Amino acid sequence: MISGGAIPFTEKNHESSKKGYLYTLNQTLNILEDTEYELKEIRGRNPKNSISSNVAEYATAFLNTQGGRILYGVTDDSTVKGFKASSQQIDEIQRVVFDSLRTIEPTLSADHYQLEFHQIYNNESEPIEDLRVLEVVVPPSRDKKAVYFNKGKELHIRVRGVKHHLKGTEIVSFIQNKSTE
């Protein structure tokens, strides 16, 4: 998962100690938006809609480049904010995320992606009830020449930490470059 920027764990830390780090509310992670990470703050009271509205676009961009991770509940300046989600809401979010990822063509099986809901802690390393960060891991495509489209028509790529929606001759150029790799 994340290699740096989180608070070091201790034996008293619960589930996150197994992973080697904690997400602490209002702490800054030692990561930036780049070719591997996309940071998305969740605003409003409906994280399910916020996440499902763009997860396929970002996953498509990562599939068309080198893979990556989307962290929902972390601001663009790498501050952990999280979002409220009960166990039932986590189940609903997982369902809509996988439904959204199925709109990517060519379709990959759901087990290609990894979803991890991380608990958020306060400064005393105590869990904050129902406050989470969602990490969506998009591994690189096994087929290096494949070109992935969101909804069968939208081509997204990732360049220097920014998602780009390609159009017209940009699409042709991208496909030609992929086919010669």
CA–CA distance, 32 with 60 (Å, rounded to integer): 20
Domain presence at residue 4? no
Query: Is 5's pLDDT higher than 90?
Result: no
Find the length of the chain.
181
Convert the pLDDT of each residue in 135-180 to its tens digit: 999 999 989 899 999 998 999 999 988 999 999 999 999 999 988 8
Question: Is pLDDT of 15 > 50?
Answer: no
The total number of structural domains that make up the chain: 1
Handedness of CA 27, 41, 115, 154 (dihedral sign): negative
- Domain extent, residue 84, equals 15-179
For residues 138 and 130, is the Cβ–Cβ distance under 8 A?
Answer: no
- 111, part of any domain: yes
pTM of the shown model = 0.87
Does residue 3 fall inside a structural domain? no
The answer to whether residue 135 sits within a structural domain is: yes
Query: What CATH code is carried by the domain that includes residue 117?
Result: 3.30.950
> Residue 3: pLDDT above 70?
no
pLDDT at 21: 67
| pLDDT at res. 132 | 97
In the predicted structure, residue 128 carries a pLDDT above the cut 70: yes
